[in-house]
Amino acid sequence: MTERTRLLPTEAPQERAVLVGVDIKRRRKRSPFTMEESLAELARLAETAGLEVVGTLTQRLDRPHPATLIGKGKLEELKALVEATGANVVIFDEELSPRQQRELEELLGDDVKVLDRTALILDIFAQRAQTKEGVLQVELAQYTYRLPRLTRAWTHLARQAGGAAGRGGIGGVGLRGPGETQLEVDRREIKKRIAQLRRELEEVRAHRERYRKRRREAEVPVVSLVGYTNAGKSTLLNALTRSNVYADDKLFATLDPTTRRITLPGGQEILVTDTVGFIQKLPTQLVAAFRATLEEILDADVLIHVVDITHSAFLSQVDTVEQVLEELGAGDIPMVIALNKIDLLSEEELRERLRYFPEGVPISAIKGWGLEALLSRVEEALQERLIPVQVHIPYDKADLVALFHRTGIVEDEQYTGKGTWLVGRVPPHVAAHLRPYQVREGE
Protein backbone atom coordinates (compact mmCIF):
# COMPACT_ATOMS: atom_id res chain seq x y z
CA MET A 1 0.00 0.00 0.00
CA THR A 2 1.45 3.37 -1.02
CA GLU A 3 1.74 6.41 1.29
CA ARG A 4 -1.03 8.06 -0.70
CA THR A 5 -3.55 5.25 -0.23
CA ARG A 6 -2.72 4.29 3.38
CA LEU A 7 -5.81 4.41 5.61
CA LEU A 8 -5.64 6.66 8.65
CA PRO A 9 -7.13 5.70 12.03
CA THR A 10 -10.55 7.23 12.67
CA GLU A 11 -10.64 6.76 16.45
CA ALA A 12 -9.57 9.64 18.66
CA PRO A 13 -6.25 8.95 20.43
CA GLN A 14 -6.49 7.75 24.04
CA GLU A 15 -6.27 10.59 26.53
CA ARG A 16 -3.20 10.59 28.77
CA ALA A 17 -3.63 11.41 32.44
CA VAL A 18 -1.44 12.47 35.35
CA LEU A 19 -2.85 11.70 38.79
CA VAL A 20 -2.30 13.93 41.83
CA GLY A 21 -2.67 12.61 45.36
CA VAL A 22 -2.77 14.94 48.35
CA ASP A 23 -2.53 13.81 51.96
CA ILE A 24 -4.03 16.58 54.11
CA LYS A 25 -3.26 16.25 57.80
CA ARG A 26 -6.72 17.11 59.18
CA ARG A 27 -8.40 14.61 56.85
CA ARG A 28 -5.93 11.81 57.53
CA LYS A 29 -7.72 10.49 60.61
CA ARG A 30 -11.13 10.50 58.93
CA SER A 31 -10.23 8.17 56.05
CA PRO A 32 -9.48 4.46 56.48
CA PHE A 33 -7.47 4.58 53.23
CA THR A 34 -3.85 5.69 52.93
CA MET A 35 -2.97 8.21 50.23
CA GLU A 36 -1.24 5.43 48.28
CA GLU A 37 -4.31 3.16 48.42
CA SER A 38 -6.58 5.99 47.38
CA LEU A 39 -4.29 6.93 44.49
CA ALA A 40 -4.17 3.31 43.30
CA GLU A 41 -7.98 3.30 43.27
CA LEU A 42 -7.97 6.58 41.34
CA ALA A 43 -5.76 4.90 38.73
CA ARG A 44 -8.35 2.09 38.42
CA LEU A 45 -11.07 4.69 38.00
CA ALA A 46 -9.08 6.48 35.30
CA GLU A 47 -8.49 3.24 33.41
CA THR A 48 -12.18 2.37 33.74
CA ALA A 49 -12.99 5.73 32.13
CA GLY A 50 -10.70 4.90 29.20
CA LEU A 51 -7.66 6.97 30.17
CA GLU A 52 -4.01 5.98 30.03
CA VAL A 53 -2.28 6.88 33.28
CA VAL A 54 1.19 8.22 32.41
CA GLY A 55 2.32 9.69 35.73
CA THR A 56 1.53 10.36 39.38
CA LEU A 57 2.43 13.12 41.81
CA THR A 58 1.88 13.24 45.58
CA GLN A 59 2.19 15.80 48.35
CA ARG A 60 1.59 15.78 52.09
CA LEU A 61 0.22 19.04 53.48
CA ASP A 62 -0.82 20.42 56.83
CA ARG A 63 -3.51 22.41 55.04
CA PRO A 64 -4.58 22.75 51.38
CA HIS A 65 -3.52 25.80 49.37
CA PRO A 66 -6.72 27.86 48.94
CA ALA A 67 -6.01 28.72 45.29
CA THR A 68 -4.39 25.57 43.86
CA LEU A 69 -4.72 22.85 46.55
CA ILE A 70 -1.01 21.95 46.16
CA GLY A 71 1.92 24.23 46.92
CA LYS A 72 3.80 26.41 44.43
CA GLY A 73 6.85 24.15 44.20
CA LYS A 74 4.73 21.03 43.64
CA LEU A 75 2.71 22.91 41.02
CA GLU A 76 5.93 23.54 39.06
CA GLU A 77 6.68 19.80 39.31
CA LEU A 78 3.20 19.06 37.97
CA LYS A 79 3.66 21.36 34.98
CA ALA A 80 7.00 19.72 34.18
CA LEU A 81 5.48 16.21 34.49
CA VAL A 82 2.59 17.13 32.19
CA GLU A 83 5.02 18.44 29.57
CA ALA A 84 7.35 15.44 29.89
CA THR A 85 4.59 12.85 29.54
CA GLY A 86 2.44 14.66 26.99
CA ALA A 87 -0.55 14.39 29.33
CA ASN A 88 -3.71 16.26 28.40
CA VAL A 89 -5.68 15.44 31.58
CA VAL A 90 -4.76 16.06 35.22
CA ILE A 91 -6.92 14.37 37.87
CA PHE A 92 -6.81 15.28 41.55
CA ASP A 93 -7.82 12.68 44.12
CA GLU A 94 -9.38 15.41 46.29
CA GLU A 95 -12.46 17.39 45.25
CA LEU A 96 -11.44 20.77 43.88
CA SER A 97 -13.30 23.95 44.67
CA PRO A 98 -14.47 25.97 41.63
CA ARG A 99 -11.74 28.53 42.37
CA GLN A 100 -9.01 25.89 42.56
CA GLN A 101 -10.14 24.33 39.30
CA ARG A 102 -10.11 27.71 37.51
CA GLU A 103 -6.65 28.58 38.84
CA LEU A 104 -5.19 25.22 37.89
CA GLU A 105 -6.68 25.37 34.39
CA GLU A 106 -5.16 28.79 33.82
CA LEU A 107 -1.74 27.68 35.13
CA LEU A 108 -1.63 24.42 33.16
CA GLY A 109 -2.97 25.88 29.91
CA ASP A 110 -5.95 25.46 27.60
CA ASP A 111 -4.73 22.09 26.27
CA VAL A 112 -4.92 20.41 29.68
CA LYS A 113 -8.20 19.43 31.34
CA VAL A 114 -8.25 19.57 35.13
CA LEU A 115 -10.64 17.15 36.84
CA ASP A 116 -11.11 15.79 40.33
CA ARG A 117 -12.23 12.39 41.62
CA THR A 118 -15.88 13.50 41.64
CA ALA A 119 -15.84 14.51 37.96
CA LEU A 120 -14.15 11.24 37.05
CA ILE A 121 -16.72 9.12 38.89
CA LEU A 122 -19.55 11.11 37.32
CA ASP A 123 -18.01 10.44 33.91
CA ILE A 124 -17.90 6.70 34.56
CA PHE A 125 -21.52 6.78 35.70
CA ALA A 126 -22.42 8.61 32.48
CA GLN A 127 -20.85 5.76 30.50
CA ARG A 128 -22.52 3.02 32.57
CA ALA A 129 -26.10 4.32 32.97
CA GLN A 130 -28.50 2.26 30.87
CA THR A 131 -32.05 2.77 32.11
CA LYS A 132 -34.02 6.00 31.90
CA GLU A 133 -33.78 6.34 35.67
CA GLY A 134 -30.01 5.86 35.66
CA VAL A 135 -29.53 8.42 32.89
CA LEU A 136 -31.68 10.97 34.74
CA GLN A 137 -29.80 10.41 37.99
CA VAL A 138 -26.39 10.86 36.40
CA GLU A 139 -27.51 13.91 34.45
CA LEU A 140 -28.79 15.58 37.62
CA ALA A 141 -25.55 14.79 39.47
CA GLN A 142 -23.43 16.20 36.63
CA TYR A 143 -25.40 19.43 36.34
CA THR A 144 -25.33 19.92 40.12
CA TYR A 145 -21.56 19.47 40.06
CA ARG A 146 -20.92 21.66 37.02
CA LEU A 147 -23.22 24.57 37.85
CA PRO A 148 -20.78 26.39 40.18
CA ARG A 149 -17.95 25.60 37.75
CA LEU A 150 -19.42 27.29 34.67
CA THR A 151 -16.47 29.38 33.49
CA ARG A 152 -14.90 30.33 30.20
CA ALA A 153 -12.59 27.37 30.62
CA TRP A 154 -15.50 24.94 30.84
CA THR A 155 -17.23 26.60 27.88
CA HIS A 156 -14.05 26.34 25.83
CA LEU A 157 -13.74 22.64 26.64
CA ALA A 158 -17.43 22.15 25.91
CA ARG A 159 -16.94 23.51 22.38
CA GLN A 160 -14.03 21.12 21.89
CA ALA A 161 -16.16 18.25 23.14
CA GLY A 162 -19.07 19.26 20.96
CA GLY A 163 -16.82 19.29 17.92
CA ALA A 164 -15.44 15.87 18.79
CA ALA A 165 -18.93 14.52 19.28
CA GLY A 166 -19.98 15.96 15.95
CA ARG A 167 -17.16 14.02 14.29
CA GLY A 168 -18.30 10.82 15.92
CA GLY A 169 -16.15 11.12 19.07
CA ILE A 170 -17.25 11.21 22.68
CA GLY A 171 -15.73 14.48 23.72
CA GLY A 172 -13.28 13.13 26.28
CA VAL A 173 -13.35 12.15 29.93
CA GLY A 174 -15.07 14.66 32.20
CA LEU A 175 -17.19 16.08 29.39
CA ARG A 176 -19.63 13.26 28.70
CA GLY A 177 -23.19 13.24 29.83
CA PRO A 178 -26.03 15.70 29.53
CA GLY A 179 -25.16 17.19 26.13
CA GLU A 180 -21.91 19.13 26.26
CA THR A 181 -23.39 22.18 24.51
CA GLN A 182 -25.55 22.70 27.60
CA LEU A 183 -22.46 24.07 29.34
CA GLU A 184 -22.73 27.12 27.06
CA VAL A 185 -26.17 28.12 28.27
CA ASP A 186 -26.57 30.51 31.17
CA ARG A 187 -27.07 29.49 34.80
CA ARG A 188 -30.78 30.13 34.69
CA GLU A 189 -31.34 27.56 31.95
CA ILE A 190 -29.24 24.97 33.78
CA LYS A 191 -31.15 25.59 37.01
CA LYS A 192 -34.39 25.07 35.10
CA ARG A 193 -33.07 21.77 33.77
CA ILE A 194 -32.02 20.68 37.28
CA ALA A 195 -35.52 21.46 38.56
CA GLN A 196 -37.06 19.45 35.72
CA LEU A 197 -34.77 16.48 36.40
CA ARG A 198 -35.69 16.54 40.07
CA ARG A 199 -39.39 16.47 39.18
CA GLU A 200 -38.87 13.51 36.86
CA LEU A 201 -36.86 11.64 39.48
CA GLU A 202 -39.58 12.26 42.07
CA GLU A 203 -41.98 10.52 39.68
CA VAL A 204 -39.52 7.63 39.42
CA ARG A 205 -39.22 7.55 43.20
CA ALA A 206 -43.01 7.47 43.58
CA HIS A 207 -43.20 4.62 41.04
CA ARG A 208 -40.53 2.70 42.96
CA GLU A 209 -42.40 3.22 46.21
CA ARG A 210 -45.60 1.84 44.65
CA TYR A 211 -43.63 -1.16 43.40
CA ARG A 212 -42.09 -1.72 46.84
CA LYS A 213 -45.52 -1.46 48.45
CA ARG A 214 -46.86 -4.19 46.16
CA ARG A 215 -43.79 -6.25 46.95
CA ARG A 216 -44.34 -5.82 50.69
CA GLU A 217 -48.00 -6.80 50.28
CA ALA A 218 -46.84 -10.00 48.59
CA GLU A 219 -44.96 -10.69 51.86
CA VAL A 220 -41.82 -11.96 50.09
CA PRO A 221 -38.64 -11.15 52.06
CA VAL A 222 -36.11 -8.91 50.33
CA VAL A 223 -32.34 -9.43 50.53
CA SER A 224 -30.10 -6.68 49.13
CA LEU A 225 -26.53 -7.19 47.94
CA VAL A 226 -24.29 -4.33 49.07
CA GLY A 227 -20.56 -3.82 48.94
CA TYR A 228 -17.64 -1.87 47.59
CA THR A 229 -17.53 -1.44 43.84
CA ASN A 230 -16.07 -4.45 42.01
CA ALA A 231 -16.53 -6.74 45.02
CA GLY A 232 -18.50 -9.20 42.84
CA LYS A 233 -22.15 -8.42 43.67
CA SER A 234 -23.47 -8.91 40.12
CA THR A 235 -21.46 -12.11 39.70
CA LEU A 236 -22.96 -13.39 42.96
CA LEU A 237 -26.48 -12.48 41.82
CA ASN A 238 -25.90 -14.43 38.61
CA ALA A 239 -24.57 -17.41 40.55
CA LEU A 240 -27.46 -17.45 43.02
CA THR A 241 -30.19 -16.97 40.44
CA ARG A 242 -28.66 -18.57 37.33
CA SER A 243 -29.27 -15.33 35.46
CA ASN A 244 -27.04 -13.21 33.22
CA VAL A 245 -26.93 -9.74 34.78
CA TYR A 246 -24.02 -7.79 33.28
CA ALA A 247 -20.88 -8.28 35.36
CA ASP A 248 -17.31 -7.26 34.58
CA ASP A 249 -13.99 -6.74 36.34
CA LYS A 250 -14.46 -2.98 36.29
CA LEU A 251 -15.39 -0.35 38.83
CA PHE A 252 -19.13 0.47 38.69
CA ALA A 253 -19.78 -2.20 36.03
CA THR A 254 -23.51 -1.97 36.84
CA LEU A 255 -25.50 0.98 38.16
CA ASP A 256 -29.15 0.07 37.88
CA PRO A 257 -30.65 -2.19 40.57
CA THR A 258 -31.67 -5.67 39.45
CA THR A 259 -34.05 -7.96 41.37
CA ARG A 260 -34.38 -11.74 41.00
CA ARG A 261 -36.42 -14.39 42.88
CA ILE A 262 -34.71 -17.41 44.45
CA THR A 263 -35.64 -20.22 46.85
CA LEU A 264 -33.75 -20.79 50.10
CA PRO A 265 -32.71 -24.31 51.22
CA GLY A 266 -35.76 -24.52 53.52
CA GLY A 267 -38.15 -23.75 50.65
CA GLN A 268 -38.85 -20.07 51.38
CA GLU A 269 -38.87 -17.73 48.40
CA ILE A 270 -37.00 -14.43 48.62
CA LEU A 271 -36.18 -11.52 46.32
CA VAL A 272 -32.49 -10.68 45.87
CA THR A 273 -31.60 -7.15 44.72
CA ASP A 274 -28.23 -6.05 43.37
CA THR A 275 -27.43 -2.40 44.16
CA VAL A 276 -24.87 0.16 43.00
CA GLY A 277 -21.42 -0.35 44.48
CA PHE A 278 -20.02 2.03 47.08
CA ILE A 279 -16.67 3.79 46.97
CA GLN A 280 -14.71 6.02 49.32
CA LYS A 281 -15.29 9.76 48.78
CA LEU A 282 -18.60 8.93 47.06
CA PRO A 283 -19.68 12.25 45.51
CA THR A 284 -22.48 13.89 47.48
CA GLN A 285 -24.18 14.75 44.19
CA LEU A 286 -24.47 11.04 43.42
CA VAL A 287 -25.81 10.13 46.86
CA ALA A 288 -28.54 12.74 46.42
CA ALA A 289 -29.32 11.82 42.81
CA PHE A 290 -29.40 8.06 43.47
CA ARG A 291 -31.67 8.40 46.48
CA ALA A 292 -34.46 6.40 44.83
CA THR A 293 -32.07 3.56 44.01
CA LEU A 294 -30.41 3.56 47.43
CA GLU A 295 -33.81 3.36 49.11
CA GLU A 296 -33.93 -0.24 47.85
CA ILE A 297 -31.38 -0.98 50.57
CA LEU A 298 -33.59 0.51 53.29
CA ASP A 299 -36.43 -1.79 52.25
CA ALA A 300 -34.36 -4.95 52.73
CA ASP A 301 -35.02 -7.53 55.45
CA VAL A 302 -31.40 -8.71 55.32
CA LEU A 303 -28.25 -7.35 53.67
CA ILE A 304 -25.51 -9.47 52.11
CA HIS A 305 -22.30 -7.45 52.36
CA VAL A 306 -20.08 -8.78 49.56
CA VAL A 307 -16.39 -8.27 50.39
CA ASP A 308 -13.50 -8.72 47.95
CA ILE A 309 -11.33 -10.58 50.45
CA THR A 310 -8.38 -10.53 48.02
CA HIS A 311 -8.10 -6.74 47.88
CA SER A 312 -5.12 -5.22 49.65
CA ALA A 313 -7.40 -2.63 51.30
CA PHE A 314 -10.35 -4.94 52.09
CA LEU A 315 -10.64 -3.71 55.69
CA SER A 316 -10.79 -0.08 54.54
CA GLN A 317 -13.41 -1.00 51.96
CA VAL A 318 -15.52 -2.72 54.62
CA ASP A 319 -15.28 0.38 56.83
CA THR A 320 -16.39 2.59 53.93
CA VAL A 321 -19.43 0.43 53.12
CA GLU A 322 -20.50 0.30 56.77
CA GLN A 323 -20.12 4.07 57.05
CA VAL A 324 -22.28 4.69 53.96
CA LEU A 325 -24.93 2.25 55.24
CA GLU A 326 -24.98 4.08 58.56
CA GLU A 327 -25.42 7.42 56.77
CA LEU A 328 -28.29 5.96 54.73
CA GLY A 329 -30.04 4.78 57.89
CA ALA A 330 -29.48 1.09 57.11
CA GLY A 331 -27.08 0.37 59.95
CA ASP A 332 -29.62 -1.69 61.93
CA ILE A 333 -30.63 -4.07 59.14
CA PRO A 334 -29.36 -7.63 59.80
CA MET A 335 -26.26 -8.38 57.72
CA VAL A 336 -24.51 -11.48 56.42
CA ILE A 337 -20.90 -10.98 55.28
CA ALA A 338 -19.91 -12.89 52.12
CA LEU A 339 -16.12 -13.07 51.73
CA ASN A 340 -15.79 -13.34 47.97
CA LYS A 341 -13.02 -14.43 45.54
CA ILE A 342 -11.51 -17.06 47.86
CA ASP A 343 -10.49 -19.02 44.74
CA LEU A 344 -7.69 -16.45 44.29
CA LEU A 345 -6.17 -17.05 47.75
CA SER A 346 -3.95 -19.78 49.14
CA GLU A 347 -5.18 -21.68 52.20
CA GLU A 348 -2.76 -19.77 54.40
CA GLU A 349 -3.87 -16.39 53.03
CA LEU A 350 -7.51 -17.33 53.48
CA ARG A 351 -6.97 -18.43 57.09
CA GLU A 352 -5.16 -15.19 57.88
CA ARG A 353 -7.94 -13.01 56.44
CA LEU A 354 -10.83 -14.99 57.86
CA ARG A 355 -9.73 -14.11 61.39
CA TYR A 356 -11.02 -10.56 60.77
CA PHE A 357 -14.52 -11.91 60.06
CA PRO A 358 -15.27 -14.91 62.29
CA GLU A 359 -18.94 -14.79 61.26
CA GLY A 360 -18.18 -14.29 57.55
CA VAL A 361 -19.08 -16.88 54.89
CA PRO A 362 -16.18 -17.64 52.50
CA ILE A 363 -17.42 -17.93 48.90
CA SER A 364 -16.33 -17.75 45.30
CA ALA A 365 -19.19 -16.35 43.24
CA ILE A 366 -17.45 -17.10 39.96
CA LYS A 367 -16.70 -20.73 40.95
CA GLY A 368 -19.97 -21.29 42.81
CA TRP A 369 -18.21 -22.21 46.06
CA GLY A 370 -19.92 -21.70 49.41
CA LEU A 371 -23.28 -20.55 48.01
CA GLU A 372 -25.36 -23.13 49.92
CA ALA A 373 -23.69 -22.07 53.17
CA LEU A 374 -24.37 -18.43 52.32
CA LEU A 375 -28.07 -19.07 51.64
CA SER A 376 -28.35 -21.07 54.87
CA ARG A 377 -26.88 -18.11 56.77
CA VAL A 378 -29.37 -15.77 55.07
CA GLU A 379 -32.17 -18.14 56.07
CA GLU A 380 -30.94 -18.04 59.68
CA ALA A 381 -30.81 -14.23 59.60
CA LEU A 382 -34.38 -14.06 58.31
CA GLN A 383 -35.54 -16.51 60.97
CA GLU A 384 -33.87 -14.51 63.72
CA ARG A 385 -36.17 -11.63 62.78
CA LEU A 386 -39.26 -13.80 63.32
CA ILE A 387 -41.33 -13.29 66.44
CA PRO A 388 -43.38 -16.01 68.23
CA VAL A 389 -47.15 -15.97 67.74
CA GLN A 390 -50.10 -18.15 68.67
CA VAL A 391 -53.24 -17.46 66.66
CA HIS A 392 -56.72 -18.84 66.05
CA ILE A 393 -57.73 -17.89 62.49
CA PRO A 394 -61.35 -18.27 61.28
CA TYR A 395 -61.90 -20.49 58.27
CA ASP A 396 -63.07 -17.53 56.18
CA LYS A 397 -59.57 -16.01 56.61
CA ALA A 398 -57.74 -18.85 54.87
CA ASP A 399 -55.50 -16.30 53.15
CA LEU A 400 -53.92 -15.50 56.54
CA VAL A 401 -53.19 -19.19 57.13
CA ALA A 402 -51.48 -19.31 53.74
CA LEU A 403 -49.55 -16.15 54.64
CA PHE A 404 -48.37 -17.75 57.89
CA HIS A 405 -47.12 -20.82 56.00
CA ARG A 406 -45.49 -18.76 53.24
CA THR A 407 -43.57 -16.32 55.39
CA GLY A 408 -43.07 -17.99 58.77
CA ILE A 409 -42.29 -21.22 60.54
CA VAL A 410 -45.22 -23.36 61.68
CA GLU A 411 -44.46 -25.29 64.87
CA ASP A 412 -47.97 -26.61 65.52
CA GLU A 413 -51.22 -26.57 63.54
CA GLN A 414 -54.63 -27.85 64.63
CA TYR A 415 -58.16 -27.51 63.27
CA THR A 416 -61.05 -26.59 65.59
CA GLY A 417 -64.74 -26.06 65.08
CA LYS A 418 -64.20 -22.35 64.44
CA GLY A 419 -60.91 -22.20 62.58
CA THR A 420 -57.20 -23.03 62.38
CA TRP A 421 -55.04 -22.87 65.48
CA LEU A 422 -51.40 -22.06 64.64
CA VAL A 423 -48.27 -21.74 66.75
CA GLY A 424 -45.00 -20.59 65.26
CA ARG A 425 -42.91 -17.58 64.27
CA VAL A 426 -43.56 -14.94 61.61
CA PRO A 427 -41.97 -11.67 60.44
CA PRO A 428 -42.99 -8.54 62.39
CA HIS A 429 -45.14 -7.13 59.57
CA VAL A 430 -47.03 -10.43 59.28
CA ALA A 431 -47.55 -10.53 63.06
CA ALA A 432 -49.31 -7.16 62.70
CA HIS A 433 -51.80 -8.74 60.24
CA LEU A 434 -52.40 -11.63 62.65
CA ARG A 435 -52.78 -9.53 65.80
CA PRO A 436 -56.64 -9.58 65.82
CA TYR A 437 -56.53 -13.39 66.01
CA GLN A 438 -53.76 -13.75 68.56
CA VAL A 439 -54.45 -15.92 71.63
CA ARG A 440 -52.58 -16.06 74.90
CA GLU A 441 -50.77 -19.11 76.21
CA GLY A 442 -53.28 -21.53 77.76
CA GLU A 443 -56.42 -20.08 76.14
pLDDT tier for residue 162 given thresholds of 50, 70 and 90: very low
Q: Which domain CATH number covers 265?
A: 3.40.50.300
pLDDT at 124: 87
Closest CA to 337 of 245, 430, 226, 229: 226
Identify which has the larger pLDDT, 6 or 32.
Answer: 32
> How many structural domains compose the chain?
4
- Is pLDDT larger for residue 395 or for residue 25? 395
The pLDDT of residue 395: 94
pLDDT confidence of residue 128: 78
Q: Beta strands 222-227 and 258-263: pairing type?
A: unpaired
Answer whether residue 134 shows pLDDT above 90. Answer: no
Which whole number is the average pLDDT over 105-115? 92
Find the range with the poorest average confidence among 91-105, 139-153, 308-322, 394-408: 139-153
Same domain, 115 and 142: no
Question: For residues 368 and 409, is the Cβ–Cβ distance under 8 A?
Answer: no
Segment 74-99 mean pLDDT: 94
pLDDT score of 16: 95
Tell me the pLDDT band of 169, cut-offs 50, 70 and 90: very low
Pair 241, 374 in one domain: yes
The most confident of 96-100, 220-224, 363-367, by mean pLDDT: 363-367
Does one domain contain both 189 and 274? no
Calpha distance 438→391 (Å, rounded): 4
The more confidently predicted of residues 41 and 186 is 41
Q: Looking at residue 133, what is its pLDDT?
A: 80
Q: Give the model's pLDDT for residue 204.
A: 81
Range of the domain at 396: 386-437
Residue at 419 is within a domain: yes
235 and 340 in a single domain? The answer is: yes
Residue 305 in any domain: the answer is yes
Same domain for 71 and 172, yes or no, is no
- Residue 347 in any domain: the answer is yes
CATH number where 71 lies: 3.40.50.11060
In a domain, 25, yes or no: yes
Q: Is the pLDDT of residue 23 over 80?
A: yes
Task: Indicate whether 34 and 144 sit together in one domain.
Answer: no
Out of 92-101, 199-208, 279-288, 382-391, least confident range: 279-288
Q: What is the pLDDT of residue 155?
A: 42
Q: So what's the pLDDT on residue 166? A: 37
HSE-up of residue 424 (Cα within 13 Å, Cβ side): 23
Which pLDDT band, with edges at 50, 70 and 90, does 153 fall under? very low
Q: What is the mean pLDDT of residues 103-117?
A: 92
Looking at the fold, whether 191 and 276 belong to one and the same domain comes out as no
Per-residue pLDDT at 175: 54
Task: Verify that 284 and 345 share a domain, yes or no.
Answer: yes
Same domain membership, residue 181 and residue 99: no
Residue 256: the pLDDT is 63
Q: What is the pLDDT of residues 372-427, one digit of tens each?
A: 999 999 999 998 888 999 999 999 999 999 888 888 889 999 999 989 999 999 88
Which residues neighbour 368 within 8 Å (Cβ) at sequence distance 6 or greater? Answer: 239
Average pLDDT over residues 268-275: 87
Same-domain status, 281 and 369: yes
Given a cut of 80, is residue 441 above it in pLDDT? no
Given this model, what pLDDT does residue 292 score? 62
The Cα–Cα gap between 355 and 324 comes to 24
Q: What is the mean pLDDT of the chain?
A: 83
The percent of residues in the chain predicted with pLDDT above 70, rounded, is 81
pLDDT one-digit tens code per residue, 173-192? 665 555 445 455 567 888 89
* pLDDT given at position 173: 63
- Among the candidates 121, 152, 176, a domain finishes at 121
